[in-house]
Structures are given as structure tokens and as C-alpha cells.
Copies of this chain bind each other. A is one copy, B any other.
Amino acid sequence: MESIGVLLACPMNSYLEQQLDKRFKLYRFWTVPDKSSFLASHKDSIQAVVGNAAAGADAELIEALPKLEIVASFSVGLDKIDLTKCKEKGIRVTNTPDVLTEDVADLAIGLMLAVLRKLCESDRYVRSGKWKRGDYVLTTKFTGKKVGIIGLGRIGMAIAKRAEAFSCPISYYSRTEKPEIKYKYYPSVVELAAHCDILVVACPLTKETHHIINREVINAMGPKGVLINIGRGPHVDEPELVSALVERRLGGAGLDVFENEPYVPEELFGLDNVVLLPHVGSGTVETRQAMADLVIGNLEAHFQKKPLLTPVV
């Protein structure tokens, strides 16, 4: 398979890069000085694209690669791939579901605890020597807080299971009600927001869910509400969120994703009721290895004409 051209959209994982380089003819898109010349010269040899949460395969790239057969994403999210165009052209698409579910759910709970109990702030308090001058402020109990989940897929369900162990009543919003689930369903995000203490974004990013957290939802959450985003930055109207946090119209936020990563609004840096993470949801050694193996496995299956492991299209 060493003659098969694979285009790696951006740096994402050394092990994956190394494995792709061993098995295929690997092109590192980010090292190319002139992307359009590169595409013009190599368009007939590239049969696969490997993308992730940061970069994938938009319509323009797909059009530029007439021999493209498969887009394998090193992520579960598909928002950087033009799925319609892929379907239209018969291009297969794979992602990395399941293997990262637990890590992302763990991080969501970690963010809830970190925001409500001000873990990072208190750690800073100790390291700065302030504890010698007085005790830290009282924070808010996590157990029993009402958790509202937007999107009750694999990750949403894993978050719910964990939160239940803390006696958190669970409610959710999704495109359709899931009658087999015992959690309380709300037919709109605003109603969900009005009836929970902690609102978690756990749905895919699509045109419909862009800015699903908007001013109305933030208002419904109120000054004690806490937003947790482990989805995609564009799920949230970021300027609205920032002003709500700065003006204390919202109680707090735990954010692993932002609209323009790696840029994070600096107005947030001075707040003690936010926890800001550099998109580490699936960022453990164990999980990234499993994700890489899934990408490689899908590519090999495709080029050996075997069934794909985790096809989306």
C-alpha cells in the first residue's frame, strides 16, 4: 500500500503520523509551502485524507482531489468534513466513536467539579502562599445539582451515568425524545436551561446546532447556572457567553472548546468562575492510541476492500 497517497490535514499524533508514513505515501499538508500547487501536482495520487477536529475535508479540498476515496477522521466530530459532498461523490467517511467516549465524559465531570468547587482557583491559592493569610472562600456543592444534557448520544449518556452517581437529577434535550430513557426530556434548549443547574453541550456540531447556546439560553440559565462545553466551540455564541460571564449574568463555565482555537477570549482569564482547557477531551495516551489504531484500521480495511470499522458515510 506504500504507493497510496494519504494527505494528513494537520499535525495530530506522532504515532499515527509514523504509522501512516510506514504504510502509505504520506503527505503532511501543513509543511507544504504552496497548497494549491501541491494539490495540482499530487491530485492523482491522493486517495485518502486524514483529518481531525481542527481540519478535515471541505468542499474545496474534495473537489481538488479527484482520486479521493476515503476521509478518515481522528475525531468523533464530523463538522470539518463536507459530508454531503462526500455522499455525492461516493467518498467513504470514518470517525473514532466509542474509544473516546469515556475520556470526554470524564472531562465533563472534571469540569463540573472544577467549576463548582473552584479546584484550579484553590490550587492557585495554595501555590501563591495566600492560604497562610486566610482560608479559601466557600464554594458550591456538586452532589444533587440538576444536570441538563444537550445531545444524549454516546457521550451524553456516559456523562449522565457518571453524574447519577453524584445523585444529580438528569434531564436532556435532543432532536427527538428517547422514550426508552428514564431521564426527563425538554422539547427546547431554553426550557432545559431554565430547569437545570449545569448545562452540558454534548451534541454534534451541524448547521442546526451552531450557536445552540445563545443569549436566550444563557438568560434562561441565570446567574447561578453553569455551562460545560465539551462539544465544539461554535456550539456557543462566544461573545455572548463572555459578556454574560464578565457581567456575572451567568454563574460559571467549564470550557474545553472555543470558536477560534487556540484563541481564547482574554476577558475570561481574570475570572475565578471559569475553567479553560486546551481541547483535551480525548487527550490521553490510551485514547489517542486507540483513535490512531481506528484510523489506520479503517484505511487498511478500505484499501483491502474489507468492511470499514467505523463508517459514517
Q: Which residues of A contact B (CB under 8 A)?
A: 102-103, 105-107, 109-111, 113-114, 117, 119-120, 122-127, 131-132, 135-136, 138-144, 161-162, 164-167, 261-264, 269, 275-280, 283-288
Q: Are A119 and B119 in contact (CB under 8 A)?
A: yes
Q: Are A167 and B102 in contact (CB under 8 A)?
A: yes
Residues of B contacting A126 in the complex (Cβ-Cβ under 8 angstroms): 264, 276-278
Max chain B CB contacts within 10 Å: which of A143, A263, A269?
A143
Q: Are B140 and A286 in contact (CB under 8 A)?
A: yes
Residue of B nearest to A283 (CB): B138
Contact for A165 among B107, B141, B162, B279, CB less than 8 A = B162
- What is the CB-to-nearest-CB distance from A123 to chain B, in angstroms, rounded to a whole number? 5
Measured between alpha carbons, how far is A162 from B277 in the docked complex, in Å?
Answer: 23
Measured between alpha carbons, how far is A262 from B134 in the docked complex, in Å?
Answer: 9
Measured between alpha carbons, how far is A139 from B143 in the docked complex, in Å?
Answer: 26
Measured between alpha carbons, how far is A57 from B105 in the docked complex, in Å?
Answer: 45
Q: Are A139 and B269 in contact (CB under 8 A)?
A: no
Q: Are B278 and A141 in contact (CB under 8 A)?
A: no
Contact for A138 among B123, B124, B136, B288, CB less than 8 A = B288
Q: Are B106 and A139 in contact (CB under 8 A)?
A: no
Contact for A114 among B110, B132, B269, B280, CB less than 8 A = B110
- What is the CB-to-nearest-CB distance from A286 to chain B, in angstroms, rounded to a whole number? 4
Q: Are A141 and B102 in contact (CB under 8 A)?
A: yes
Contact for A141 among B106, B122, B264, CB less than 8 A = B106
Q: Are A120 and B117 in contact (CB under 8 A)?
A: no
Q: A165-B161, A165-B165, A167-B102 are in contact. Are A262 and B141 (CB under 8 A)?
A: no
Q: Are A143 and B102 in contact (CB under 8 A)?
A: yes
- What is the CB-to-nearest-CB distance from A227 to chain B, in angstroms, rounded to a whole number? 16
Measured between alpha carbons, how far is A35 from B44 in the docked complex, in Å?
Answer: 89
Residue of B nearest to A122 (CB): B277
Measured between alpha carbons, how far is A119 from B136 in the docked complex, in Å?
Answer: 19
Q: A132-B262, A165-B165 are in contact. Are A285 and B140 (CB under 8 A)?
A: yes
